[in-house]
Amino acid sequence: MRKELKKIYGINSFLANQICDQLGFHMNLTVGELSVDQTEKLGRILQYYYLTENDLKKQIQGNFQRFIQIGCYKGFRVTQHLPLRGQRTHTNAKTAKRILRA
C-alpha cells in the first residue's frame, strides 16, 4: 500500500507510512484488497489533510507568481528560468531551466 501511495504526486515515504499507520493498513496490503469502506476513508484523509496532484501544483505555481509579483530576487530568477537557491549556473542549471518552464 505504501508503494501505491508514493505514486501520488505530493505523497512521499514519510507521509505514506503516516497514512497507513493512521488507517491501520499492513505493509503488504495492495489497493485491490481494500474494502469499499477503507477506500472511502483513504480518499477522505487524502482530500482533507494533504495537498496532492493539481492542488499542490497550483500552490507551487502560485508561490512562483507571488515572487514575480513582489519583485524579489527569487522572482527575477524564476522569470529568467535560472536556479533559485544559489546553485552554480556556469555549467549546470539545465534541470532548473527545464523544470521552471513546465
Distances (CA, A) of 87 to 2, 37, 61, 68, 82: 33, 47, 21, 19, 9
Q: Which pLDDT belongs to residue 96?
A: 66
Domains within the chain, CATH numbers bracketed: 2-50 (1.10.8), 56-101 (4.10.910.10)
**What pTM value is reported for the model?**
0.73
pLDDT greater than 60 at residue 102: no
pLDDT the model gives residue 18: 94
Residue whose C-alpha cell is 523544470: 99
What is the reported pLDDT for 12? 94
Distance CA 30, CA 54 (A): 24
More confident position, 87 or 60: 60
Mean pLDDT of 78-82: 86
Angle of helix 13-23 relative to helix 36-49, nearest 10 degrees?
Answer: 130
Mean pLDDT for all residues in the chain: 89
